[in-house]
Chains A and B, each alone.
Chain A
Amino acid sequence: MSDLGKRLRGASLLLVLLVLWELLPRLNLVDPLLLPPFDRVAARWAALLMSGELGAHVVISLLRVLAGFVLAALTAIPLGILLGLRPALRERAEPLLGMLRPISPPAWIPLAILWFGIGNRPAVFIIWMGTMFSLLVGVLGAARSIDSRWVKAGLTLGASRRQAVRLVILPLLLPAILTQLRVGLGLAWMCVIAAEMVAVRQGLGYLMIQARNLFQTDTVLAGMVTVGLVGWALDGMLGIVERRALHWREGTEAHGFFERATDH
């Protein structure tokens, strides 16, 4: 199916949802206090955008998320590769990792406040913790399951162990790492609300929390829509990076076989 065709299909589904969102509260099939109609939310969204408020909140949240995400990547990737390649270390680390990983972002809040006070630092810390362990486990899994045949090829061509890691293992891991980073960025962005519960004065999470306290549901929804849009854009950008970096993978993907031959 053509690109345009795909886009139209996605758009039509969205359109149906928007129509429902408008009609259900207006017709009182859904309590408009619980779900304000779409046009009110859209108007609020536009007002926030025009006043520059929305932009300011988005930028602040983005900066926090990117900071936490970068920290998570810088810690999780090397650690994941190390643990993936060294079974002895991995066995010792696994119990600790298993306990830390299920801790959801909001659960880090008390500790974050205690250690870092209020403001940006605890927020970044929460995003870091919320993202790091998933990233670590993903990279670790990929490193564990590297096919050894390319490593053997590299070694018999004269590579030392360190060269094998740098010149064979890392390129082999790059696709998995990029996938994990994409997932990780999504996770980091999802942490934004939890992260901004720690006494910050700007940000999308702050906007939504304050709006909720004052029962401004249209603002809450406008915030959610923005969170979704920004998350989508971030993922799209990383997708482009992924495609560029992995152009050598074209022709080796299996998913082509799962698309239907004839699309309607």
Chain B
Amino acid sequence: MAFLSVQQITKTFGNGPANVPALVDISLDVAEGEFVVVLGPSGCGKTTLLQIVAGLEQPSQGAVRLRGQPIRGWGRERALVFQEGNLFPWLTARDNVAFGLRVQGIGPEERRATAHQLLSHLGLEGCEQLYPHQLSGGMRQRVAIARALAVNPEVLLLDEPFASVDALTRTRLQEELLRIWQEYRKTVLFVTHNIHEALLLADRLVLLMPRPGRVKACFDLDLPRPRRAYPAELAAWEQRLEREMAEAEQAPHVSVPAWEPQSLAQRSPSAKL
């Protein structure tokens, strides 16, 4: 059984004839310690997928399992790094990072020490007492990552975390993330629409196509890191993925038959809810 298993997830918003199928029959597996990137154009439901894995949304059908057990709502074992960071504005950088520890009842001394350590690890030693509005976009995302790491999640979820920073900062942040991933041996599920970013980071790439969100293809990226050392291969991959993405974007809208609730007798034994 895979470490993290997304099984036939379907998500439909709304009821009756006006419903919007956002995701249909998405399945993917993530092995422990793997860095999986979900790549897709806008509207393919990749954020919804991540929210379902994080437990912030409920699927209409299908299940998500972690270490074989179905997930129950949200939890720190699947910490999420949001696109806008969502740092608590009333807390300093250090207290933001310490938040997840405070929630667990860990004492102030210990949490401050852990937060300090993590912030240093992410290159933010001088920034501990600063408030989010005093930090640059790149620094804020680093704090957000440190905050998620602080709770020692089983799976680190990231929803286009570098989409709103400039290209230079983005490159630095990508390198940071890779370094963290390797040091802490985390399992990562990362969502983006940026092909180059996906290629730099992923062990495995899952390409989604929109209307409704479905898996178009999966790719194993056997390229060693740092990937910039292999420009030719990267270029080839980029071309291929651009083609795939273009096809995905131009794919016609597929109307999905209205989901009918299945009676227990009709369910196949493998699709356990």
Contacts and interface: CB of A to CB of B under 8 A. Distances in A.
B52 interface: no
A46 interface: no
Interface in A150-174: 150, 152-160, 163, 167-168, 171-172, 174
Interface in B136-169: 147-148, 151, 157
Contacts of B55: 156
B270 interface: no
The secondary-structure label for the interface of chain B is loop
A171 B88 contact: yes
Size bracket, chain A contacts = 20 to 34
A174 B89 CA distance: 12
Interface string A218-258: 00000000000000000000000000000011011000000
Contacts of A154: 88, 99, 103
Contact of B56 (A150, A156, A171, A252): A156
Contacts of B102: 167
B133 A251 contact: yes
A160 B79 CA distance: 14
A256 to B, nearest CB: 13
Contact of B103 (A159, A172, A249): A159
B74 A155 contact: yes
A158 B89 contact: no
A160 B104 CA distance: 10
B133 A157 contact: no
A157 B99 contact: yes
A149 interface: yes
A99 to B, nearest CB: 35
Given A251-B133, A252-B133, A157 B100 contact: yes
Given A171-B88, A248-B90, A153 B82 contact: yes
B86 A157 contact: no
B179 to A, nearest CB: 22
Contact of A149 (B78, B82, B104, B151): B82
A149 B84 CA distance: 9
A175 to B, nearest CB: 9
Contacts of A152: 56, 80, 82, 86
A154 B82 CA distance: 12
Contacts of B104: 158
Contacts of B79: 156-158
B76 interface: yes
27 contacts: A149-B82, A149-B86, A150-B86, A150-B88, A152-B80, A153-B80, A153-B86, A154-B99, A155-B74, A156-B56, A157-B79, A157-B99, A157-B151, A158-B75, A158-B103, A158-B104, A158-B151, A168-B88, A171-B88, A171-B90, A171-B91, A172-B90, A174-B90, A248-B133, A251-B133, A252-B89, A252-B133
Interface of B: 54-56, 74-76, 78-80, 82, 84, 86-91, 99-100, 102-104, 131, 133-134, 147-148, 151, 157
Given A153-B80, A158-B103, 16 more contacts: A149-B82, A152-B82, A153-B87, A153-B88, A156-B157, A157-B148, A157-B151, A159-B100, A163-B103, A167-B99, A171-B91, A172-B90, A248-B131, A248-B133, A251-B134, A252-B89
Closest 6 CB pairs of A and B: A158-B76, A157-B100, A153-B86, A156-B80, A155-B74, A171-B90
